[in-house]
Amino acid sequence: MGVDVVRASARAGRVVLWEESPRDGAQAKTLMTPDFRVRLARAQGGIFGGDGPRHVVFAAGFPAVCPQEFEAVRRVAVEAEGTVSVSAVCRGTAPDVRQALASVRGTANARIMVVVPASEAMAGVMTHGTAEQALAGGAALVAQALDVDDTVAVDVCLADASRADHGLTGEHAARLTEAGAGVVVLADTVGDQLPEDAAAMFTAVRRGAGADVVLASHLHNDLGLALANTLQALRAGIRVHSSSWLGIAERSGMVATEQLLFLLAYRPDRTRALLGDDRDAWWTAPDLTSLPGIARMVAAETGAPLGVTTPIVGDGVGTISTGTPFVHPRLFEPYDPRELLGIEPRVVLTHLASARVIRAVAERLGHHLDPDRTRTAATWVKSRAYDRGHAVVDDDEFADYLSTLAVPPARSTR
C-alpha cells in the first residue's frame, strides 16, 4: 500500500482527530443521514485545508449494521475522498472485516478499524475466550485483511483497554503493528478512568509496545473526565485522539471534537508545552472559525442541544449581560471569541443589566436614553424578568417597551 498518512502524521508529532460522531454517536441514539455524513466529513476536513486526510480520520459508520449503513459508509468513502481519511468500523470476525473493506475499497486514504477485546471481562463476552486469544486473533485478522486488500489501512481498537493488563496490551500492540496494523486504539470503554489512570495506561502501553507502534486514545465521558484524560494521553506522547462533535457517543458521550481541537490550537505556546516538544501540532493550522457553524450543523441533524454552558460553541460564548464585563470584556474571557471563532460579542438584556448595558441595548434598537429614562427602563427590565421568572428580556419585547416611553424634548440648536 502507499503511505499511511495517519501513521506518518502521528510519527511526525502531528495531532490527528478520529471523528466518531457518525459511528459512536449512533449509540447516543442519533442517526446521521448519508448526505449529512458526507457534508460533515467535507466540512471537518476543510478545517485543515488540503491536509484534511492527514489530520482527520472520519469513522463513517459500521457497515455490518444493515445494507443502508453499508451504503452510507460507501457514500462517505467515495464522496468525501480527499477531504478526510475515511474509516469503516467492524467487529473482529472475517466476514465483518471483508464487508468493511468492501465499503471503502478503491478510495484514497481508506481505512478500517477492527474492534478487539483487550480485558479478560470483555474477551469473555465478545469472543468467549481469553484476552490473550482475542488479541492473537486480532493480529491474524489484520494480516488477513491486508491479504485481501493491501491498499486499505487496517487499525485495531482494543476495547476495555483501561481494565486490561497493560503489559499484555503493550506486547500485543507491538504484534498487531508487526502484522501490519496502522494505529492501535486504547479505549476506556466504560469511561471509568481518572486522569492518573489514563496517564499510567498510555505510558505503560507505549513503553511496552515500542517506538514503531502508533497508539490512539478513545475515552468515554461517564465521569466527565474524557477531556482531562485525553490531555494525559497527549502528555504521554499519544498523537491520535478519538472525539465526537458535541461529545455525542454512547451513554454520557466522549471528548467533544470542538473542545479538543480548540484547546490544541488557540494558544500554540500552550500546545507546545502540552506536547512536550517544539514541533508544530499541525501540517496546516486549523480554521477555528469553522467550529461554531459545524457544531450548529451537528446539533440540527442530531437534536443534541447547544446550551448556554456548552464550551467553545454554546449560546453563552461572547455574551455580556452585566456592567463590568461590558466595560472590560477581556478581563472575563480566556480568549477573544471574535478573533478566534468569528463569534460577534452580544449584549444580552437580563435582570442583572447595569445602566451602561441598558443604554447599549437601547442604542442597538435605535433609541437614545437620557439618565432618567435609563433608570426607568432599568426598573422595567428587572421587574419584567422577575415577574416572569426568566432572566432574559428579548430585543423585540424591549423595543416595544421603549416605544412607549415619553420622548424627551428636542434639544435646542440655538
Residue 183 has pLDDT above 50, yes or no: yes
Q: Which residues contact 104 (CB under 8 A, 6 or more apart)?
A: 60, 73, 74, 77, 86, 87, 88, 110, 111, 112, 152
Q: Which residues contact 166 (CB under 8 A, 6 or more apart)?
A: 200, 201, 204, 205, 208
As a whole number of angstroms, the distance between CA 69 and CA 90 comes to 12
More confident residue, 98 or 410: 98
Residue 330: what pLDDT? 74
Q: Is 186 helix (H, G, I), strand (E, B) or coil?
A: strand
Residue 412 has pLDDT above 50, yes or no: no
pTM of the entire predicted model: 0.91
How much is the average pLDDT of 218-243?
Answer: 96
Contact 17, 10 (CB under 8 A): no
Residue 407: what pLDDT? 55
pLDDT in tens, 365-394: 999 999 999 999 999 999 999 999 999 999
As a whole number of angstroms, the distance between CA 119 and CA 158 comes to 9
Q: Which of 200-214, 230-244, 317-331, 357-371 has the lowest mean pLDDT?
A: 317-331
Residue 68: what pLDDT? 97
Length of the chain: 414
The secondary element (H helix, E strand) that includes residue 121 is: helix 120-126
The secondary element (H helix, E strand) that includes residue 116 is: strand 111-117
pLDDT in tens, 307-338: 888 999 998 888 888 877 777 777 788 888 98
pLDDT in tens, 259-309: 999 999 999 999 999 898 888 999 999 999 999 999 999 999 999 998 888
Task: Decide which of 3.40.190.10, 3.20.20.70, 3.30.70.890, 3.40.50.720 is the CATH code for 5-302.
Answer: 3.20.20.70
Residue 414: what pLDDT? 46
As a whole number of angstroms, the distance between CA 162 and CA 186 comes to 7
Contact 357, 323 (CB under 8 A): yes
**CB atoms < 10 A from the CB of 165, how many?**
16
Compute the Cα dihedral for 337, 343, 345, 350 and give only its sign.
negative
Residue 101: what pLDDT? 98
DSSP state of 36: H
SS (H, E, C) 60-98: EECHHHCHHHHHHHHHHHHHCECCEEEEEEEECCHHHHH
Q: Which of 162-171, 177-186, 346-355 has the lowest mean pLDDT?
A: 346-355
Residue 408: what pLDDT? 53
**Around 20, how many Cα atoms within 13 Å sit in the side-chain half-sphere?**
28
More confident residue, 408 or 16: 16
Q: Left, alpha or beta for 137 (phi > 0: left; psi -120 to 50: alpha)?
A: alpha
Contact 249, 191 (CB under 8 A): no
Residue 410 has pLDDT above 60, yes or no: no
Average pLDDT, the chain: 93
Residue 115: what pLDDT? 96
Residue 143: what pLDDT? 96
Residue 409: what pLDDT? 47
As given in the structure block, the three cell numbers for residue 289 are 472559525
As a whole number of angstroms, the distance between CA 215 and CA 129 comes to 25
**Domain range annotation of the chain:** 5-302, 318-414
User: Which candidate, 7, 18, 24, 357, places its Cα nearest to that of 220?
Assistant: 24
Q: Which residues contact 9 (CB under 8 A, 6 or more apart)?
A: 15, 16, 54, 55, 239, 283
As a whole number of angstroms, the distance between CA 129 and CA 134 comes to 7
How much is the average pLDDT of 3-26?
Answer: 95
Burial string for 168-185 (b: 16+ CB within 10 Å, else e) reads bbbbbbbbbbebbbbbbb
User: Which candidate, 107, 73, 97, places its Cα nearest to that of 154?
Assistant: 97
